[in-house]
Amino acid sequence: MSSVSGRVIEGNNLEVLATLPDATATLIYIDPPFNTGREQSRSKVTTVLAADDSTKGLAGFKGKSYERTRSDLMSYDDRFDDYWAFLEPRLREAWRLLADDGTLYLHLDYREAHYAKVMLDALFGRESFINELIWAYDYGAKAKGRWPAKHDTILVYVKNPKGYYFNSEEVDREPYMAPGLVTPEKAAKGKLPTDVWWHTIVSPTGKEKTGYPTQKPEGILRRIIQASSREGDTVIDFFAGSGTTGAVAASLGRHFILIDQNPEALAVMRKRFAPLEGVVRFE
């Protein structure tokens, strides 16, 4: 544990990210608390960031230019402009901050996944899309007028589709549903997870519970960090919340950088990381 270092940075993540050097992280996980059914205010001002040398050459969605894709989508659905204005500059920073062999995991609910997929196709290039992971769970009210929504989407994109790091041998495996149909050796080892993950939510009475409302289970982050980073690599989370990304990263021997400006989140993380005094630095 002494070889691991962690930083928890208080502030607007877009401003903080601009201070970090290129290629800082092998893995970036972000779970933006945006547009999940709450009323959003429309802005009359549209901010367009000029493409820098690191992103303007990307082929993007269906071979169209980055700017053309954005324009087409805005004309199709003006709500896209709200979402793009919020998420686009953060995704651009993610591309810059990833090492050449790095991976981005973008965690969303069903309302925004389609918008973000098109953004990432434009920013990273469609060839950099690796997976659409489905995290399935079961909790909450039962819808009667539609199929109940019981999953989140995690989009997986890589910086370099010809040279990214992924090690399935490090991932915690799942039990076979029919172990009698495979060899005893395979049954004992378990099977590699597919792109559909069943994992319960954080139990209200479990030892993981921090009290933070959007806390994600350690098991989900453990699988992501095991597969897409090595011991000694750096993991970044732009929307740190309860600090689960950092807690799991530290337990697996990874360095981490967490960013949040919510006082509640920072209070939770101070308590959570208290046992790692001297390892985790609050800034």
Per-residue pLDDT tens digits for 225-250? 999 999 999 999 999 999 999 999 99
User: Rounded to two decimals, what is the model's pTM?
Assistant: 0.85
pLDDT at 201: 76
pLDDT at 147: 86
User: Which amino acid is located at 63 in the chain?
Assistant: G
Per-residue pLDDT tens digits for 109-161? 887 888 889 889 989 999 999 999 998 887 766 778 888 888 889 999 999 99
Confidence grade of residue 36 (pLDDT, cut at 50, 70, 90)? very low
Residue whose structure tokens are 């962690």: 6
Positive or negative torsion for Cα 258, 140, 118, 171:
positive
Domain 26-231+247-252 sits in CATH at 3.40.50.150
Structure tokens at 188: 């004992």
Statement: residue 2 has pLDDT above 80: no
CB-based contact 111:35 (threshold 8 Å): yes
User: Which amino acid is located at 86 in the chain?
Assistant: F
pLDDT at 142: 76
